[in-house]
Amino acid sequence: MPNRTIPARTLALCVLAAACSTGLRAQNVKPPKAQLWMDVSTGSMAGMPEMEMPAGLGGMAGMLGGMMGGGGAGGRSGASTAYGQARGMSVMPPRVLDIAFHNSLKPGVEAAQLIPAGMRMGESLPLLPPRREPAGTPREREPGEPPTEVERPKGRILVYWGCGETVRAGQPRVVDFARGSPSDFASAFAGRHVPDRGARIGPNHVLYPNERNTVVLARDSSLAGEHRIQGAGVPASMKFSLGAAQDLMPAIQLQSRGTLRDSVALSWSPVAHARGYYLHAMASQGNDMVLWSSAEAPDTGMGLFDYLPNATIERWTRERVLLGADVTQCAVPKGIFAPAPGAREDAGAMLRMIAYGGESNFAHPPRPADPKATWEPEWAVRVRVKSHTMAMLGQEQGASSAGGQPSPTAGADAQAPSPAAEQPQEQLRLPSPGSILRGILGR
């Protein structure tokens, strides 16, 4: 018989590996009986007064909200009746609250969320099942979503990245569609993204806003305080308290200086509870699309304008994909958005900026300390917050206060109205990412 004696060192390693495997064994976690999702968003347009519509003009608010990157129909106080608007870049209404609730004990049954008085939205919000669309109703594309039927595109995509006054060596990255296949268009936009952590809405969910209630958050509203969910089959213990970290984030006070033929200097005041920032600009120049982002890595950036988990924010900040929470300025390289010969000087480029808030999770009862114990929460709540703004580069913007007036701290010349502020609102057309993509595709 051959000698099968195991060396002592090998035996010790095997024992250690087994011990570690046992210690790291995943706890048995069962899904909560009831799950609530809350998405909170603050939107603005740099240098512009906050846009709220008086009662009775909700349809116009819905139309303008769609043009600016929101969606849905209008309602009282310029609200949208469509769940999901918080995921977009809505600036009308400027504050959006989306609530989705799934109760496995009574799926799809109406419930109510009792809210603190500081929200100024009444005593409670009704949570109703989603309205059923008629069979065969086509799904509308989300703002900025490329067409599903992709024609052979024209021109090129020029990708620039990084804050700085000059174009860096090795830039731009060029995608030339004349030399590639139609699949190159999709691959060109296959940048960073995270799995969707929002609610996967279906008939077993109940939602806010809805057709019964379209009240929106006021300028001085606060979500801080106790919230309680009530309804048939809802666990009696389902109440939780929100604090400053889960409250509405302030609007981003963004300022820009410089023309498109120069480097455009961007600066902003720190946003309370922001964990990181990201800026992205785009413009069409003939058949070409020019993209720029504040990241230190090339990426078209389409997947970053969404809520991000805390761990992802931390990782991408370390990788310099996102700007840190302590950063308050960035520069767009000189001339990358300069108008082509013969083009309008005021054609501009659309800039979007997002301040990532945190993601907070609550559950009852809390996770057991014993890893061998099964955890089966009665309920769980996930709250996500963000703030975003939009601007036209090349039109100098001064920061605005919450009331829409120039901020006294916007700079030495803050009292002088900026060129953008002097223009009538109907002249300040802000193209959507979708319209720019359609131009590239020849649609």
The chain-wide mean pLDDT, for the chain, equals: 78
- Positive/negative CA dihedral, 201, 277, 363, 374: positive
Does residue 42 carry a pLDDT above 90? yes
CA distance 91 to 60: 13
Give Cα separations from 12 to 4, 6, 25 (angstroms). 16, 10, 20
pLDDT digits (tens, 9 = 90+) for 301-327: 778 999 999 999 999 999 999 999 999
Q: Is the pLDDT of residue 222 over 90?
A: yes
Say yes or no to pLDDT of 13 above 50. no
Looking at residues 199-222, what average pLDDT do you find?
93
What is the structure's pLDDT at 11? 45
Most confident of 42-46, 98-102, 400-404: 98-102
User: Is the pLDDT reported for residue 403 higher than 80?
Assistant: no
pLDDT band at residue 152 under the 50/70/90 scheme: low
Check pLDDT > 50 for residue 440.
no
Alpha helices in 242-393 (DSSP H): 310-318
Q: Report the pLDDT averaged over residues 407-426.
A: 36
Helices and strands counted in the chain (H then E): 6, 17
Instruction: Locate 72 and state its tokens.
Output: 């849905």
Q: Examine the pLDDT at 413 and tell me if it is beyond 50.
A: no
Query: pLDDT grade, residue 295 (50/70/90)?
Result: very high
Residues 440, 285: Cα–Cα separation, whole Å: 9
The number of residues in the chain equals 443
Instruction: Please say whether the beta carbons of 330 and 266 come within 8 A.
Output: yes
Q: Indicate the pLDDT class of residue 20, thresholds 50, 70 and 90.
A: very low
Residue 66 binned pLDDT confidence (cut-offs 50, 70, 90):
very low
Q: Mean pLDDT: which of 41-50, 195-204, 257-266 is highest? A: 257-266
Confidence check: pLDDT of 240 > 90: yes
For range 202-206, the mean pLDDT: 95
What are the extents of the domains in the chain? 34-131+143-365+372-441
Per-residue pLDDT at 95 exceeds 70: yes
pLDDT value at 410 more than 50: no
Look at residues 351, 360, 363, 402 and name the one whose alpha carbon lies nearest to residue 385. Answer: 360
pLDDT over 90, % of the chain: 50
The model's pLDDT over 372-392, given as tens digits with 9 standing for 90+, comes to 899 999 999 999 999 999 999
Comparing 85 with 181, which gets the higher pLDDT? 85
Q: Which of 39-43, 101-105, 322-326, 367-371 has the lowest mean pLDDT?
A: 367-371
At residue 108, does pLDDT exceed 90?
yes
- The position carrying tokens 């800039």 is 351
Q: What is the mean pLDDT of residues 178-188?
A: 66
pLDDT of the residue at 388: 97
Measured from the Cβ of residue 327, the count of other Cβ atoms closer than 10 Å reads 16
Which position has the higher pLDDT, 441 or 169?
169
Q: What percent of the chain has pLDDT over 70?
A: 68
| The pLDDT of residue 77 is above 70 | no
Backbone angles phi, psi at 19, to 5 degrees: -65, -45
Confidence tier at 405 by pLDDT (50, 70, 90): very low
Q: Is the pLDDT of residue 215 over 50?
A: yes
pLDDT band at 49 (very low <50, low <70, confident <90, very high): confident
The answer to whether 357 and 273 have CB atoms below 8 angstroms apart is yes
The predicted model gives 152-159 an average pLDDT of 79
Cβ within 8 Å of residue 365, ≥6 positions away: 377, 378
